[in-house]
Amino acid sequence: MANISGDSSIEKDIHAERYAEEAPEKGNLSAGPFKYNRKGILLDPQPSYDPHDPLNFSAWEKGCVLVALAFWAYLGTTNLIIVSPAFFQIAEHYNIALESVAYTVNGPLVAYGVGCLIWVPVGNRIGVRLSFLISTFGAASLSIWAALAPDFPQFVAARVLAAVFYASPEAYGPQIIRDTFFLHTRATSTSVFTAFQFCGFTFASFIGGYATLNHGWRAPSWVMVIMTYTAFFVVAALFPETSYNRDDSSCHNGRRRYIHTLSLSPCSGGGQPKSTNIRASFAAPWKYIVHPTVLLATVFFSLFLATNDYLLTTNSISFPTVYQFTLGEVALTSFAPTLGNLVGIILGGYANDKYVAWQRIKTGGIFIPEMRLPMLLVTAILGPTGLILFGTTTQAHLHWIAPLFAEFMVNFSAVVAGNITYTYLADVYLERTDSVLVMLNALKNLTAFGLVYAVTPWNTHSGYAVSFGCLAVILFIAHSPVLLLYYKGSAMQSYESQRF
C-alpha cells in the first residue's frame, strides 16, 4: 500500500496503515530487514537509518519533545480560562455588565480556532521549532499588554491576539507526536498532550482564582506572562525540529548532537521544508473539510468540547451563587475536573494502545484505525450522565460534592474522546494529520464559542437541570458519527481516496 507522504499521495491511498505486519511494502525497508524494539514489537512506521529522523531520537529527546509540547499546550488553554474567576472584579473595575465580561473568554476562543488555520502553514514553511519560538515569545509579550490594559476594549483585544499565538501547539501537537512516536505508543503519547491541554481548561480556575484573591484581577495575566516566557526558554533549550523530509537526501547526514536541537532549520537534520509554497499550505487544509471521515470526527469532538466548556464556564458562576463559595473555594473546585483529565490518560491512552495491540493479535497483525473507537462507548455513557448529574444536583442545591463528581466524569470522558479522535485521525491521515486537524480545531473552537456564549442566559432562564439535560441529549446523539466511522470508516476512506 502507498504511504501518505505528500500533498498528492492521499488521493492514491487513504488507508496507508491498513496492513499486515508481514507486508513487505510497509515502511522504509529497502535498506534492510524489519526493525523491532527491545520488546520485540514491530516498529510502525519503520524508521530510516538517519539519526535525524525523529523516530530515531533517543528516549531523552523524545521525552523533551513531549514535555515541552504538553507544557506549551497547557498554557494555550490556560490562557483562555484563567481570567474567569475574576469576572465579577473585571466587571466592577471596568463598570460593565457581567454578560459583557464573557468576551474575555469567548473572543479568545474564536481567535484560538483561527490561530490553528495560521500556524500549520507557517510551521510547514519555517519549521515547527521556529514557529514555537515565535508564538511563545509573541504570546508572552501580548500578555503584558493584557496585564496593563487601561480599558476593557484593550484588555479584550490583547487577549484575543494572544490567543492566536497560543494556538500553535494545538494546531501541530498530534502531528508532532505522529512524527516522533511509533504506533504502539501513539495513543499513550497523544493522551499526555490531550490531558495537559484539558488541564489548562480546568486548573486555570485554581491558578486564576488564587492569583486574583491574593494580588487582584490583573494578576492572572502576569502569571501568563511569567509562564509563557518560561515556555519560550524551555522550547529554545529542549525542543528540536520534528519535521522530517524523507524524500530529501540532504536530511541524511552526520551524527546527532545537542547542537542539532538548537538548529532553526525547517527540517530535522537540514534540508528543504515540508512546504515551499505558503499559499498552497494555507489552501491545503480546506480540502479536507468535505472528507466524510474528517467531518464526522469534527462534529463529534466539537460537540463534546462545547459541552465541556459550557460546564467549566458554569462552574465559575454556579458555585458562588448556589453554594456561596468564596473565590478561593471556587478555585479549589478545579481539582475535580483536573483529576478527571489525568485519569483519562489511562483509558484514552495506555489502555487504548493495549486494546489495539490485543486486536492486532486477533487479526493476525492487521491494523485498522477503527480499532481505537470502541472505547468511546464509555464516554457515551459517562459524559451525558455527568452532565445530567451536574444540572440536577446544582438545581436542587444538593451537597457540592455531587456536581464536582459530575465534573470529574465529564472531563474524564472529554479527554478520552479527544485523545481517541486525535489518534484515530493521525492513524488514517499520517503525514497529513496537521492539515486535517486544522479544520477540526478551528471548527470545534467556533462551536464552543457559540455554546459558551449562552451560558448565563440559558442557565438563568431555564435553570441548570433543563440546560444540562439538553446538553446531555446533545452529547449522547453526538456519538452517532462514531458508530458510522466504526462500521463504515473503511468504505468512507476508500471513497475519499477515489473522489478527492
Return the CATH number at 366. 1.20.1250.20
Q: Give CA–CA dist 177/242, Å, rounded.
A: 9
Bridge partners, residue 42, by sequence? 36
Beta pairing partners, 19: 367
Which residues are CB-contacts of 480 (< 8 A; sequence separation ≥ 6)? none
pLDDT of residue 205: 85
**Residue 9 placed within a domain:** no
Question: Torsion angle, CA of 175/50/36/177, rounded to 10 degrees?
Answer: -10
pTM score over 0.95: no
**Regions of the chain short of the pLDDT cut 50:** 1-31, 249, 251
pLDDT at residue 299 in the model: 92
- Classify residue 377: in a domain, yes or no: yes
405 closest CA partner among 394, 389, 416: 389
Per-residue model confidence (pLDDT) at position 49:
83
Cell output for 24? 513487505
Residue 205 lies in a domain: yes
Q: What's the pLDDT at 29?
A: 36
Does residue 24 belong to any structural domain of this protein?
Answer: no
Q: How far is CA 427 from CA 18, 39, 436, in A?
A: 9, 22, 12
Is 2 part of any domain?
no
- 46 in any annotated domain: no
Domain tally for the chain? 1
Hey, what amino acid is at 316? Answer: S
Which of these, 229, 228, 241, lies nearest to 130 by C-alpha position? 241
Secondary structure of residue 367 in the 3-state scheme: strand
- Position 82 scores a pLDDT of 93
Residue 19 located in a structural domain = no
Encode pLDDT of 310-359 as tens digits.
Answer: 898 888 789 989 999 988 898 899 999 999 999 998 888 899 999 999 99
Query: SS in 3 state form for 236-263?
Result: HHHCCCCCCCCCCHHHCCCCCCHHHHCC
Amino acid in position 84? S
Is residue 458 situated within a structural domain?
yes
Task: For 415, list phi and psi in degrees, rounded to 5.
Answer: -65, -45
pLDDT score, position 163: 96
Crossing angle of helices 480-499 and 401-429, rounded to 10°: 20
Hunting for cell 498530534 — which residue is that? 174
Cβ–Cβ under 8 Å, residues 171 and 438: yes
For residue 36, the cross-strand partners are: 42
Q: What digits encode the pLDDT tens for the residues 245-260?
A: 776 545 455 678 899 8
Q: Please give the residue range of the domain that contains residue 356.
A: 51-499
Chain centroid to Cα 174, Å, comes to 7
* CA angle (49, 52, 56) in 5-degree steps: 60
Q: What is the pLDDT of residues 412-457, one digit of tens each?
A: 999 999 999 999 998 998 878 888 888 888 788 777 777 776 777 8
The single-letter code of the amino acid at 491 is A
**Grid cell for residue 234:** 524551555
Per-residue confidence (pLDDT) for residue 468, from 0 to 100: 96
Give the span between the Cα atoms of 311 and 327, in whole angstroms.
Answer: 18
- The single residue listed with the C-alpha cell 472584579 is 89
